[in-house]
Amino acid sequence: MLAQDGYGIQRRDLDIEDYIDIARRHKAWILGPAFAALVLSVVGAFLWPDTYISTASIKIVPQQVPTNYVQANVNQLMQDRISSLAQTITSRNELASLINTLQLYPKELARMPMDDVVDEMKRDIRIGGIAAAAVGASANAAQAFQISFAYTDRYKAQSVVREIQSKFVTENFTNQIRDSLMTNDLLRDNWKTAKKDLEDIGLKLAEFRSRNAGRLPDQMTTNLQQVNALQSRVTSLSESLSRNNQERLMMEGLLRIYKDEMNTAKQPMAVERSVEKKNERVAEADREIRQIEDFLARTRERYKDSHPDVRQTVALLEVAKKKRDALVQEDDSNKTPASDGPAVAQAIPPAAAREARNLEANYRRIETQIGAKNMESEDTRKELERVNAQIRAYEARMQGTPLSDKEYSDLLREQELAKEKFADIDAKMTKSSMAKQMEDRQQGEKLEPLDQASLPMTPSKPKRWQVVGIGAGLGLFLGVVMAGAREMRNTSLKNLKDVRAYTQIAVLGSIPLLENDLVIKRRRRLMWLGWSLACLAGVAIMSGSIIYYYATKA
């Protein structure tokens, strides 16, 4: 297939000889950009200042005292603490202080404000993610993370990494001591308050006993214990009733699923099956009515007829009865004389029949379980009513005591609560004191230097020969593109193949182009002179940039 040029003329397909001729005709346009790109890439690569990366590692030492014995006062995870420390250490004030102290980025400071220089320094700092110290280490094994900084001066890069590593260790220790001290002070204040409250209640109780000597209740404590036990029993029964209701609702949902699957499995059945389905719908409506009636009876035992729950249940019962009556009327209206005769059932595959039997068995089993749950819920309600009756009896007995007896019981209850509160805070205070001692001895979780800041010997970037190779390749590609563009614009006939392809004339012979030898020699000399000068200039420029790089590096 022939391609077309800009004038609508179809071009012939090119072969390898044509490409060689094109490269020979446009060799200057191919080699010129390639050589220029080579010179520019060498100059840019060797004038690009070296960047050295210094690295250091910090390990996370776990708590040396078993956590079963002493719990640390600091509840923040070490990963979160490291992130917080990293934000603090790389803040504007800290980095600005490092820049001024170590005299970093002098050229940048001369042309940019401090905030921009700080942002550039943040980009040069890398704090690696937390990783296990060894492959296959357990979760309790020591962990470590890495700090790195990239800069043109390797000694200053090492100094920056050393400072950041030192700040991580010291800031973490300072923060742990401060947080532990704050926790200990807070618990000590709460301990003093709880102790004062306990002493005040003790004084009130002693004054009440001295004022009501000989008239103190003997059974009030026992009654209180019984009420507390019964209230715990009420809570347990309420939870059990709620759990039974949830399970019953889940079973009812499963029952509806089985029923839908049974209806789907019984679709191929004959007319008598549809009649049975209608009867099942009526039976289901009857069961729903019975459940609502049972619930209404239990509600009326607890509330009057004017209560909103009773009214709502009565309304639900009326709606269910209307639904059952509508189903019965629909069943009667759909009956035909033909339905009295024997029904002809369609043939059912054995697999479908077996599936229907399994679904029906599961349906009956879930129905039995729902019945059992209903009975269990009913027993639980009865037990709950009995326990509530006992609680009301004990409360009536307690309310019937004299006012002084009730006041005495309140004081005893307040004293018990104050004792429990004081004991709890006292235990926490003891644990906090032990944790503070552990932090003071540096036996808690801490950071320690793993690898000191390294002094890089070779620059990490730029990759000079890689830059040179990429630049030369791009220049060669640009030259090829330019040569191809010039070739596409040149529509002249260049060889005998073009003459045969475009004129369709048999060529019997060809006469070569005759030019003056003197003109040809002069042209070649000028071309070689230009290329020689360009190559010498390019080599001189590249050599100068390389010599400048090694001279300034030394």
pLDDT confidence of residue 265 = 62
Virtual torsion, Cα 218, 221, 225, 227, nearest 10 deg = 80
Cβ atoms of residues 445 and 38 within 8 Å: no
Q: Say if strands 446-451 and 52-61 run parallel, antiparallel, or are unpaired.
A: antiparallel
**DSSP assignment of 511-552, as one string?**
-PPP--HHHHHHHHHHHHHHHHHHHHHHHHHHHHHHHHHHHH
What phi and psi, each to the nearest 5 degrees, are found at residue 148? -140, 150
pLDDT confidence of residue 342 = 42
Residue type, 486: R
pLDDT confidence of residue 160 = 92
Residue type, 182: M
Exposure letters 352-377 (e unless 16+ CB within 10 A, then b): beebbeebeebbeebeeebeebeeeb
Query: CA torsion sign, 421 to 422 to 427 to 429?
Result: positive
pLDDT confidence of residue 161 = 92
pLDDT confidence of residue 343 = 42
Cα distance between residue 92 and residue 117, in whole Å: 10
Distances from the Cα of 367 to the Cα of 79, 171, 360, 408, angstroms: 54, 67, 10, 55
Cβ atoms of residues 440 and 177 within 8 Å: yes
Cβ atoms of residues 380 and 244 within 8 Å: yes
pLDDT confidence of residue 50 = 75
Cα distance between residue 404 and residue 489, in whole Å: 116
Cβ atoms of residues 320 and 288 within 8 Å: yes
- Going through 221-307 in order, the beta strands assigned E by DSSP cover none
Q: Where exactly are the structural domains of the chain?
A: 3-45+462-526, 52-189+433-451, 220-425
3-state secondary structure of 58: strand
pLDDT confidence of residue 149 = 92
Distances from the Cα of 267 to the Cα of 272, 273, 341, 353, angstroms: 11, 8, 20, 11
Name the stretches of the chain with pLDDT < 50.
1-2, 4, 6, 131-142, 213-215, 269-273, 275, 336-346
Phi/psi zone of residue 335: left (φ > 0), alpha (ψ -120 to 50 degrees), beta? beta
> Is pTM, for the whole model, over 0.75?
no
Cβ neighbourhood burial of 295 (10 Å; 0-12, 13-18, 19+): middle
Distances from the Cα of 453 to the Cα of 66, 149, 227, 420, 462, angstroms: 32, 10, 69, 53, 22
How many C-beta neighbours within 10 Å does residue 189 have?
11
Given the structure tokens 């390990």, which residue do they identify?
59
Eight-class DSSP state of 149:
E
Cα distance between residue 58 and residue 328, in whole Å: 82
pLDDT confidence of residue 268 = 52
Cross-strand partners of 127: 147
How many C-beta neighbours within 10 Å does residue 308 have?
8
pLDDT confidence of residue 509 = 63
Nearest to 537 by CA among 3, 32, 157: 32
222-260 pLDDT, tens per residue?
667 777 888 888 888 887 777 777 677 767 766 777 676
Note the CATH architecture for domain 220-425: Orthogonal Bundle (1.10)
How many C-beta neighbours within 10 Å does residue 301 have?
9
Q: Can you state the percent helix, strand and coil of the chain, rounding each to 5?
A: 70, 5, 20
3-state secondary structure of 218: coil
pLDDT confidence of residue 340 = 45
